[in-house]
Structure 1
Amino acid sequence: MDFLYVKALHIIFVVTWFAGLFYIIRLFIYHIEAEKKLEPAKEILQTQYKLMSKRLWYIITWPSAILASFFAFWMLYQSPYYLSEPWMHVKLAFVFALYFYHYSCQRIYKQLQNDIIKYSALQLRIWNEVATIILFAIVFLVTLKSAINWIWGVVGIILFGVLLMLSIRLYKKIRAKKSWDKAEKEVLEENN
């Protein structure tokens, strides 16, 4: 098969892999937030999130990870000179980090399937940004292909990560204030 077809298939499955990774964390967050609901809503929601997670994880995310890796190895087989490029070594380090991230999500998935909640919704919102940082790093490395530029890219990614974390904290404060304002309004309406 022509190299460009293999490359296109690799990119497609990388995109669907990341889509699965981003959405699975969202489902984990919804699952954890459902823990605060009263019965029967809690059980109904958590059962639905378990089913949605299972389908997403085993029908989209895992197959995408496997196929993205398969086509990546195929490209490296067709063009082994890429392995001598310094930017490729750094990219592969980020890909290794992505595999670790995927494995960590697998552990969280299994815990939630067994009704074990070890993380807060905020912790998972922060964890979700790790995939974003890895995505940015890989795209910039593949696009720039320069040892010097990737250093600046990594510095930019770290700054981007800090900005994301600050945004999450701001979002949490805004959400807490809205909840407080809503509760305060309900109390005032009850008193009137």
Structure 2
Amino acid sequence: MDSYYPYVLSVHIIFVVSWMAGLFYSVRLFIYHTEANDRPEVEKEILQKEFIKIEHKLWHIITNPAMTFAVLAGIGMICIRPGLLSTPWLHVKLGFVLLLLVYHFICQRLMKQMKSGVFKLSSFKLRLWNEVATVLLVAIVFTVVLKSAVDWVYGLIGLIVFSGGIMMAVKLYKNYRQKRGE
């Protein structure tokens, strides 16, 4: 059974990449969908309908299936190598994965709200929200690669610095757009 592990790991990585791509692009669409509210009424109506259609297809054809297969492959890897459950790094990784799943379902709720015409977050807040997935991805990758408690401390410090850098970049981009009149 252990000989199947590399294949299941490969499937896991492929679907994690697809899942993350779906999450990144979905929230980017949410930003454009929200910004469409500032357009003239006819243009707004056309854009809103199109964003609802694109978001639905992306979510149900790519993002949700990729999340499902990534999780199933992850479970498969643990079934093949149950000893992984005794490694502390996996517990940390699974904690970050749980946060990513929460993020996923919050995004799904945001999509449903926007479909109903409810826009609770500004495009700026959505830009910040988009970076949460990036931070979680970085945390997961470093946890899997480093697998060391000491490195987790450095990794956590690096993650905080990285998160601060991303937040500053989003703020600078907002200021840049405001100066250009967008």
In the aligned structure 1, how far is the partner of 2:80 from the partner of 2:156?
A: 28
SS at 2:41's partner residue?
Answer: coil
Q: How does 1:42-191 map to 2 (within 5 A)?
A: 42-179=44-181
In the aligned structure 1, how far is the partner of 2:61 from the partner of 2:156?
A: 32
In the aligned structure 2, how far is the partner of 1:36 from the partner of 1:177?
A: 17
How many residue pairs align between the two structures?
180
SS at 2:38's partner residue?
Answer: coil
1:26 equivalent among 25, 28, 31:
28
Consecutive unaligned residues of structure 1, counting only runs of 5 or more, are: 181-192
In the aligned structure 2, how far is the partner of 1:97 from the partner of 1:158?
A: 16
SS at 1:48's partner residue?
Answer: helix
Q: Which has the higher contact order (CA 8 A, sep 6+)?
A: 2
Aligned Cα root-mean-square deviation (Å): 1.0
- Residues 16-38 of structure 1 show CA distances to partners (whole Å, capped at 9, x for unaligned) of 00000000000000000000000
In the aligned structure 2, how far is the partner of 1:20 from the partner of 1:43?
A: 24
In the aligned structure 1, how far is the partner of 2:82 from the partner of 2:160?
A: 30
Match of 1:190 in 2: none
Instruction: State the TM-score, normalized to the length of structure 1.
Output: 0.92
Instruction: State the TM-score, normalized to the length of structure 2.
Output: 0.97
Following superposition, the deviation at residue 155 of structure 1 comes to 1.2
Match of 1:11 in 2: 13
Following superposition, the deviation at residue 39 of structure 1 comes to 2.0
In the aligned structure 1, how far is the partner of 2:5 from the partner of 2:89?
A: 20
In the aligned structure 1, how far is the partner of 2:177 from the partner of 2:33?
A: 18
In the aligned structure 2, how far is the partner of 1:18 from the partner of 1:84?
A: 27
Select the structure of larger CA radius of gyration.
1
- Residues 94-135 of structure 1 show CA distances to partners (whole Å, capped at 9, x for unaligned) of 000001100110110110111111110000000010000000
Write out the 4+ residue segments of structure 1 that deviate beyond 3 Å after TM superposition: none
Match of 2:41 in 1: 39
Identical aligned pairs, as a percentage? Answer: 48
